[in-house]
Chains A and B, each alone.
Chain A
Amino acid sequence: MFGIIRQKVSAGGSPPLAFGQMIRPAVSAWRGYSAAAKQMTVREALNTALDEEMSADPKVFLMGEEVGEYQGAYKISKGLLDKYGPERVLDTPITEAGFTGIGVGAAYHGLKPVVEFMTFNFSMQAMDHIINSAAKSNYMSAGQISVPIVFRGPNGAAAGVGAQHSQCYAAWYASCPGLKVLAPYSSEDARGLLKAAIRDPDPVVFLENELLYGEVFPISAEVLDSSFCLPIGKAKIEREGKDVTITAFSKMVGYALKAAEILAKEGISAEVINLRSIRPLDRHAINASVRKTNRLVTVEEGFPQHGVGAEICASVVEESFGYLDAPVERICGADVPMPYAANLERIALPQVEDIVRASKRACYRSVPMAATA
């Protein structure tokens, strides 16, 4: 079903296969090293990170459906088969339980597999291995067997693909001890976190987003350096503010930033935290921000109950209860399987307006609850 890159003629979106220009200089190269001199799509960021880590360490290999000859269902592995050959870029049959377990077994023996799920939805067929074989082995073996493996692929809602293909697994995996769960937003995140994940000695669930793959972000020379790596477990303040804290991850960071811009025009200064790491969660960054702004809005695409927002709220209530000036607000996907019809799909997912409205509510510029989208 695979999408594999949407090429709707009428939709006109930028052709996702425009992979030719890997790094597009935004300004003339003669200007020298300006920090934001270059731009890169998230797809290129992931591809270059994989490429560099495979080139740096022969123990790193990539396996999954269509990662080789097809160049990846979403072209993340483009060019890697040619460069590293079929021994290190393995096209698997459609058997998530099988190849995920094989990846885990290889990691027991010191290899560093990167297992691609065509989408994270399909990881449900492999969950036994992610949770039982990967996440618990270091503990059960009393540290004798570590599992340096990365499970990666697009997560969360895509567009128009219905209930089985549109789901966020952040809360699912983040509730499991022994796993590290990362969710990049920008190209910088994608490069830095994927490199960190591959170098990490523990199993990492790496949640990408299909709808971000084609998005372009400015990228600094430092991030382009092959030694670049981001720390696991540290959030990033994407935008500083003083009136309300908005936490988000993955695609929702972009929505939160847009909401912050709208709020700024209305005199509300929002601080946007890009979580980057869902587990471990940077409780310090979140609480420090809430202690400053005294208000919290959490945003995620996943389901409300026992979600990432729920965990963040619990942390803030536990650590910073006395600092809160308003009830916390949680923006989540609707508590229903994703509908197919486009109009229902839209109201099932958080929108920028919802974040704006909730932030205003938190700042006591309430609008009635019934109007919540």
Chain B
Amino acid sequence: MAAASAFSATKFTQPLPLNTTTSRSHDKHQSFFDPLKTTSSSSSFLGSTRKLRLNSASKFNHLANSNRRSAVVAVSDVVKEKKVKSTTNLLITKEEGLKVYEDMILGRSFEDMCAQMYYRGKMFGFVHLYNGQEAVSSGFIKLLKQEDSVVSTYRDHVHALSKGVPARAVMSELFGKTTGCCRGQGGSMHMFSKEHNLLGGFAFIGEGIPVATGAAFSSKYRREVLKQADCDHVTLAFFGDGTCNNGQFFECLNMAALWKLPIVFVVENNLWAIGMSHLRATSDPEIWKKGPAFGMPGVHVDGMDVLKVREVAKEAIGRARRGEGPTLVECETYRFRGHSLADPDELRDPAEKAHYAARDPITALKKYMIENSLASEAELKAIEKKIDEVLEDAVEFAEESPLPSRSQLLENVFADPRGFGIGPDGQYRCEDPKFTEGTAHV
């Protein structure tokens, strides 16, 4: 039975013959909607101006492009079906549009503020900003329920914000203050919020993927073994292109498909892993193809277009929620800043940066909203102003919050602090009132 559904899932993305893909424009909003259009304009890695060392690789790339075009058609089919049923031609309602716009502005402005605060010495270590990729976070996470889970990487501030963790709590965490969402213990790369089902903040490549798969496993287990019939929670795992060369990715695609787990693997393909071009790191740059290889749908979507991301996300999240299994979504996006605030960012070609800067996802949404009379210039300005205030407040809050006290050093190491063991006096060390004055010196 599972095999049968896996098989049909595979079919879902079977590329159509190339010659049927050309005359498919049927929609006046195609510039935002028709994935075919996207495919030809930002076609696979045409946006990357990366020059390869090996000649054979460019041949590969060419091949990849034609394949990609055909595969994306499968997405447009999904989207088309939806469209026929809907009464309006618009891709988003006013309310949804404003909500997504606000979330994207929040993400962008928050990260810009982080850069300022980092240079002022208010936050430290490795700080990885999300600028440019907002359409992915907002396009996916804003469709989730509170009970759904998100697992992120070290580039996690904006995923946390989209999931509803207050800007104050994220900023304060970055300042290393007790009011942070992890009381200053986690830091930039390790955001957690149980209340919001944000399960981290994983700084090692690939390690978030199995954890996310485990979260999806628990939803299924709760429904099927613990008989919690209403447990239809979905997990989203976010990670980068570079991470798709790590074994944990493949291991989890297999298990998620094998066990039909309610998870969406969201690849934020920003074309680079620090200074390593995706094209230099992977034998077949089309990541979405690995979905069908493991028996699940694989979808490529323009990650600079939040409306397209949303369409694909709706479908994938819906599949997971209905118990139809996992989906792999490759969002082609770009980071507008260096890998981290310490990265000199010398290897990316200015022309490539300019190409993607011109496709800023926030500008694109704004344009769509205004052109379709979904929002006025003034309404959007009001949102921007509101977010400025939110951030000002967040910084002030973080600034004024207290530093962790010394006793906090030994808290939270264990859920049961008797894990520190028994001291020379025969008592549990944690029971000594002076215990937290030390540093767990053995």
Contact = CB atoms under 8 A, between A and B. Distances in A.
Contacts of B176: 340-344
16 contacts: A3-B340, A5-B344, A8-B342, A66-B274, A66-B276, A91-B276, A93-B282, A97-B247, A158-B125, A160-B126, A163-B186, A164-B204, A335-B442, A336-B413, A342-B176, A347-B406
Band of interface residues on A: 35 or more
Given A1-B126, A9-B119, A65 B186 contact: no
A330 B439 contact: no
A4 B342 contact: yes
A336 B417 CA distance: 12
A148 B218 CA distance: 45
Contacts of A132: none
A296 to B, nearest CB: 16
Given A1-B154, A347-B409, A161 B189 contact: yes
Given A95-B246, A341-B184, A159 B404 contact: no
Contacts of A164: 189-190, 202-204
A238 interface: no
B203 A370 contact: no
User: Interface majority SS on B: helix, strand, loop or mixed?
Assistant: loop
B274 A70 contact: yes
Contacts of A305: 442
A304 interface: yes
Contacts of A6: 342
A332 B119 CA distance: 32
Please indicate which of the listed interface residues A17, A69, A93, A98 has the most CB atoms of chain B within 10 Å of its own CB: A93
A348 B406 CA distance: 10
A10 B186 contact: no
Interface in B247-294: 247, 273-276, 280-282
Given A70-B276, A98-B247, A121-B204, A370 B434 contact: yes
Interface string A1-20: 11111111111000001000
A86 interface: yes
Interface of B: 53, 118-121, 123-126, 128, 154, 173, 176-177, 182, 184-190, 202-206, 242-243, 245-247, 273-276, 280-282, 339-340, 342-344, 347, 403-404, 406, 408-410, 413, 420, 434, 437-442
B439 A8 contact: no
A43 interface: no
Contact of A2 (B182, B187, B247, B343): B343
Given A2-B343, A4-B274, A161-B126, A341 B204 contact: no
A18 B281 CA distance: 29
Contact of B340 (A4, A11, A121, A342): A4
Given A304-B441, A339-B404, A372-B438, A2 B204 contact: no
Nearest to B155: A1
B184 A344 contact: yes
A161 B187 CA distance: 7
A289 B442 CA distance: 24
A165 interface: yes
A217 interface: no
Contacts of B282: 93
A372 B187 contact: no
Interface in A291-316: 304-305
A84 interface: no
Contacts of A159: 124-125
Given A1-B340, A330-B442, A344-B176, 19 more contacts: A10-B121, A69-B347, A93-B242, A93-B281, A94-B205, A125-B205, A161-B125, A162-B188, A163-B185, A165-B189, A304-B442, A334-B440, A335-B441, A337-B413, A339-B185, A340-B182, A340-B185, A341-B404, A344-B408
A160 B409 contact: no
B85 to A, nearest CB: 42
Contacts of B188: 162, 340
Interface string A161-204: 11111000000000000000000000000000000000000000
A351 B94 CA distance: 58
Contacts of A343: 176, 403-404
A334 B409 contact: yes
Contact of B275 (A69, A165, A336, A342): A69
A371 B434 CA distance: 11
A316 to B, nearest CB: 17
Given A334-B439, A336-B440, A162 B128 contact: no
A122 B207 CA distance: 11
Contact of B190 (A3, A163, A335, A342): A163
A20 to B, nearest CB: 15
B273 to A, nearest CB: 6
A50 interface: no
Given A4-B343, A97-B247, A65 B276 contact: yes
Interface string A112-152: 00000000011011000000000000000000000000000
Contacts of B281: 91, 93-94
B286 to A, nearest CB: 15
A300 to B, nearest CB: 12
A337 B189 CA distance: 14
Please indicate which of the listed interface residues B189, B342, B420 has the most CB atoms of chain A within 10 Å of its own CB: B342
Contacts of A70: 274-276, 347
A86 B276 CA distance: 14
Contacts of B408: 339, 344
Contacts of B203: 1, 161-162, 164-165
Please indicate which of the listed interface residues B282, B347, B409 has the most CB atoms of chain A within 10 Å of its own CB: B409
B254 to A, nearest CB: 16
A373 B439 contact: yes
Nearest to A305: B442
A276 to B, nearest CB: 25
B413 A341 contact: no
A305 B281 CA distance: 40
Q: Nearest 8 CB-CB pairs, A to B?
A: A340-B187, A160-B125, A160-B124, A341-B176, A70-B275, A335-B440, A341-B184, A93-B245
A205 interface: no
A8 B442 CA distance: 36
A370 B282 CA distance: 55
A88 B140 CA distance: 42
Contact of A95 (B245, B420, B440): B245
A355 interface: no
A253 interface: no
Interface in A318-373: 330, 332, 334-337, 339-344, 347-348, 369-370, 372-373
A73 interface: yes
Contacts of A10: 119-121
